[in-house]
Amino acid sequence: MEDKNVKLIVTENLRKTYIDNGMSVEALRGIDLTIHAGEFTAIVGPSGSGKTTLLNMISGLDRPTEGKVWLKDKLLSDMSGRELSDFRRDHIGFIFQAYNLIPVLTVIENVEYIMVLQKLVREERRRRVTDILDQLGMAGYGNRFPTRLSGGQQQRVAIARAMVSHPLMILADEPTANLDSKTGADLLTMMKQLNDRTGMAFIFSTHDPMIVERARRVIVIRDGLIHSDEDREGERIYRATSA
């Protein structure tokens, strides 16, 4: 388990400007943020506030227009595309709103995909897949294709895929948006337990009040700026709610 004082993500004056239909749109207008190991953080805000853009920046999926991002002490702008791919593969797990499993791969193959990229031996891969599917209540579904699973089951597989390679953090973009409230609540409980047990940081971009309610830290973003940053457990002081 990673030391909770380790800074996983540090951003400094993070800005991102898009050109949309010839118009310049400032999605992020200067974000300074630090996320530590083991956090269970919700980034909330209205649509278009910059939540997903922020997740893209801190995961290295996109590059900022201005400012800096450190991923575990490595400056993002110093990393090549290939290094970023490897960094994401080894240290970041992704959970998407629409699950986004590979439809032509079975549950087992989907879950072990990242470990295949990591070139782990087959026995180790299968051991980890079996363990994680078991933990997530998906044992017995290993040879099914995603299209033959319910939304909740697919999202469990997506969680398994994100976690199986033991990343430092899981980035989840609206993970409960396509699920009914009970399934969403169950999955959230499961993720919280995994967070407590493994020490993996969970960072959600969400509108879901249920996630906000359970998150230890809630960052509110509005118009590309951090509006508030609250640590529910009072371990750290981030920023008071701005006017």
Partner 1 sequence: MNIHLKAAWRNIFRNKRRTFITGTAIALGLAALIFTDALVKGTTDSMINIATGSFSGQGQIHAAGFRETQEASRVIVGSDAVLARMAGDARIKAFTPRTLSFAMASSASEVSPALMIGVAPDSERKFSKIGEAVAEGNFFEAGARGANPQDIVIGAKLAETLQARLGDRLVLTAAQAGTDELAQEMFRVSGIFRFGMDEMDGGMVFVRLAKAQEMLNLNNGIHQIALTLTDSKAASNEADPLWKDYSHEGNEAVGWPVLFPQLKVVSSLAGFATAIIGVLLFGIIALGIINTLFMSVYERMFEFGVLRAVGTRPGGLRRLVVYEAGALGLLSCGLGIVLGFVVTFIICKTGLDYRGIEYMGLAFKDLLYPIMTVGQFIIYPIAVFIFTVLVGLYPAGYASKMSITKAMRRTL
Give the footprint of partner 1 on this chain (CB under 8 A). Answer: 56, 59, 61-62, 81-82, 85-86, 88-90, 94, 96, 100, 102-105, 109, 112-114, 116-117, 161
Enclosing H/E stretch for 13: strand 7-20
Closest approach, Cβ 81 to partner 1, in A, equals 7
Closest approach, Cβ 162 to partner 1, in A, equals 8
Q: Could you tell me the sign of the dihedral formed by the alpha carbons of 213, 214, 216, 222, in that order? A: negative
Distance CA 190, CA 40 (A): 13
Distance CA 84, CA 86 (A): 5
Closest approach, Cβ 57 to partner 1, in A, equals 10
Closest approach, Cβ 185 to partner 1, in A, equals 25
Smaller CB separation from partner 1, 15 or 214 = 15
**How many Cα atoms within 13 Å fall on the side-chain side of residue 13?**
3
Closest approach, Cβ 175 to partner 1, in A, equals 14
Beta bridge pairs of residue 33: 11
Distance CA 69, CA 72 (A): 10
Smaller CB separation from partner 1, 61 or 225 = 61
Smaller CB separation from partner 1, 86 or 223 = 86
Smaller CB separation from partner 1, 146 or 184 = 146
Of 55, 64, 56, 73, which is closest to residue 10 (Cα–Cα)?
73
Closest approach, Cβ 98 to partner 1, in A, equals 8
Smaller CB separation from partner 1, 130 or 228 = 130
Smaller CB separation from partner 1, 18 or 137 = 18
**Contacts for 35 with CB less than 8 Å, ≥ 6 apart:** 7, 8, 9, 10, 41, 58, 169, 201, 203
| Diameter of the chain measured on Cα atoms | 55
